[in-house]
Chains A and B, each alone.
Chain A
């Protein structure tokens, strides 16, 4: 260790210091959130900005948050939306990814380009016509309406196509010679081998839809159908209006916590997934 330290140049030490500074700045909002969420507001809010942990941590802000907003319902709705989108996506992207990776057919290039288009024309830009469609399909103000625009994923299709392409054809040819049908090959041979791609896509998809806001805000009207982000927005407006910053911090923590905990537990997997998704995108 001392040997390694001695080898370090001033430039290296300087860059390490700079890194620490950046990490500090980047962490401060989170630090404040955690500290403020567990701190009781003391008379006036003069020291609300203090980053020192409270001497007597309290769960009062969380109790108040659950009282003033239906976080349990928001959680359930978000889980349904995120889970529903992912379940359908895994089917659509596996089938389409398989077709683009393994089969030859007329119009393949045109269809591939059409898929490519959706990478750029992400649903948020099309909120106005999509809202019309959702109303016309009779799924306005429903969780299904929130999910609908995302059930096919060009990004996922590409990811699966690339993943299938890295699998040698020998495996499936052996299975086909043994008399297996194509879906048996897909289900028993290709999909198990494509697990890294499926996991990477799942993580990115869950993160994206957990955080989605503008579209559910437009589609959902009834308070009991709000997702976490939509619920948080109105909750935060209330807390802000009442200058209840500890409450705001607690509510924000509740919404951000699940993904942050999952990330801390499966860091490598998250980082790899997001990296993988970019390189293969």
Chain B
């Protein structure tokens, strides 16, 4: 540091030479603050949780005994884990596909700057900004059997007798509705950005060649939006694995495990059953799953980045 400040008065050329070491260390010093936190809360935890997944710790004790892969065996044989896994698959498909379809549909219809369309864009985007907990609180009334918002108006159409969150057969589908409502407007933004990046002469050329609106969408627009879809799919995937606030507020994984998802299973094992081994093993499995699926989706992202630059 002294060398650096001493150099301040010198000519520019001399300064460059003297501060060569400082120059070489500088990039690492600039990255250091970020790296400290990344190491503490991202990289080290992965090692830590992998290590912890090999031990079994009785509640209240500090160190456990080494049990090898026993925790993984216990997790994989746990009906609740398998249930949470398949629920998560169902929830992923049941939220990502409709969200993306609605997002794309809205983006296609809202892709110009009239005031009416700007207002609708804002309305559809609004749920993105409220906490998932707040959305869950609202939906606790919407899904309320009998007097709730949904049943109140369905009754006028002569439809009755649903128990949206209490019936194991439909509870997860009901929660999926909440998730689609919350996220579709967010994903729409990415499609809007993607559409704006497509040169308009491409569509016009296809039009001159006699392509119908559907053909232009199918053969021009959608292929050009593929990187956007890949990117949005990764975001949506991260969301379905890491956002379970509504489960905590609305169903606590019930009824009968019908809405238990991977992260909620981890949360339960850590916070309610105090089974650190199981929680750790389930975390490792989820992290591996998340990484594998994200890397798959990132291929779409790379293609997108290549197009941008």
Contact = CB atoms under 8 A, between A and B. Distances in A.
Give the interface SS of chain A, mostly helix, strand, loop or mixed: helix
B152 A248 contact: no
Contacts of A211: 129-134
B33 A22 contact: no
Contact of A19 (B109, B147, B235): B109
Contacts, number: 272
B30 to A, nearest CB: 4
B189 A152 contact: no
Contact of B49 (A32, A129, A228, A264): A129
Interface centre among A98, A105, A213, A248 (most CB of B within 10 A): A213
B245 A152 contact: no
A128 B279 contact: yes
Given A128-B280, A152-B36, A157-B34, A207 B140 contact: no
Contacts of B85: none
B123 A23 contact: yes
B120 interface: yes
A249 to B, nearest CB: 7
Contacts of B136: 236
Given A103-B27, A128-B270, A260 B40 contact: no
B128 interface: yes
B27 A229 contact: no
A224 interface: no
Interface string B141-164: 110100111011100000000000
A252 B137 contact: yes
B2 to A, nearest CB: 15
Interface stretch (B65-73, B86-94, B203-211, B236-244): B236-244
A121 B141 contact: no
B202 to A, nearest CB: 19
Interface string A17-41: 0111011001111101100100000
Q: Which of B130, B152, B231, B291 has the most CB of A within 10 A?
A: B130
A232 B133 contact: yes
A99 B41 contact: no
Contact of A105 (B28, B42, B190, B231): B28
Interface in A63-117: 91-93, 95-96, 98-99, 103-105, 108, 111, 114-115, 117
A26 B181 contact: yes
Contacts of A251: 137
Given A98-B30, A130-B41, A32 B131 contact: no
B267 A127 contact: yes
B248 A274 contact: no
Contacts of A128: 49, 52, 266, 270, 276, 279-280, 283
B242 A125 contact: yes
Given A126-B287, A148-B40, 4 more contacts: A29-B127, A49-B141, A176-B12, A263-B125
Listed from nearest, the 6 A-B pairs whose CB atoms lie closest are A49-B152, A129-B45, A152-B37, A211-B131, A105-B27, A99-B30
14 contacts: A22-B102, A29-B127, A49-B147, A99-B31, A120-B238, A121-B291, A122-B242, A125-B263, A128-B52, A129-B283, A177-B12, A213-B131, A218-B267, A275-B192
Interface of A: 15-16, 18-20, 22-23, 26-30, 32-33, 36, 45-46, 48-50, 91-93, 95-96, 98-99, 103-105, 108, 111, 114-115, 117-118, 120-133, 148-149, 151-154, 157, 176-177, 179, 181-182, 207, 210-214, 217-218, 228-229, 232-233, 236-237, 240, 245, 248-249, 251-252, 255-256, 259-260, 263-264, 267, 270-271, 274-275, 278-279, 281
Interface of B: 8, 12, 24, 26-28, 30-31, 33-38, 40-46, 48-49, 52, 102, 106, 109-110, 116-142, 144, 147-149, 151-153, 181, 185-186, 189-190, 192-193, 231-232, 234-235, 238, 241-245, 248-249, 263, 266-267, 270-271, 276, 279-280, 283, 286-287, 290-291, 294, 308
